Structure 1
Amino acid sequence: MCDYTQVEYACGHLRYTVRAWCVKYQETHKRCPANVVAIEYRLDEKCGTAFI
């Protein structure tokens, strides 16, 4: 399983960002189930403007 960070925004939406790709993904480029290893709160950001 690949390691992900769960990111929570002020609007309540969640996004999952990859922390590290697992060996299986690196070999096949097929995504496997996410393994959430951290939670990050961005309560001062709205999800629609988080990447601008």
Structure 2
Amino acid sequence: MCDYTQVHYKCSRLRYTVRAWCTKYQETHERCPANVVAIEYRLDENCGALI
């Protein structure tokens, strides 16, 4: 499983960012199941800033 951070934004939107790719992804570039290892709150950032 690949390690991800769950990020919460001001508009209540969630986003998952990769912390570390698993070995399977590094070899095949096929995504593996997400393993959320951290939660981050960016409540001062608007959702429009994501794009």
SS at match of 1:11: coil
Task: State the percentage of identical aligned residues.
Answer: 80
Gaps of 5+ in 2: none
Instruction: Give the whole-Å Cα distance in 2 for the aligned partners of 1:33 and 1:47.
Output: 25
Q: What residue number does 1:5 align with?
A: 5
Instruction: Give the structure-2-normalised TM-score.
Output: 0.93
| Deviation sequence 1:1-52 (CA, Å, 0-9, x none) | 000000000100000000000001001100011000000000011121146x
Instruction: Give the structure-1-normalised TM-score.
Output: 0.91
* Matching of residues 1-40 of structure 1 within 5 Å: 1-40=1-40
Gaps of 5+ in 1: none
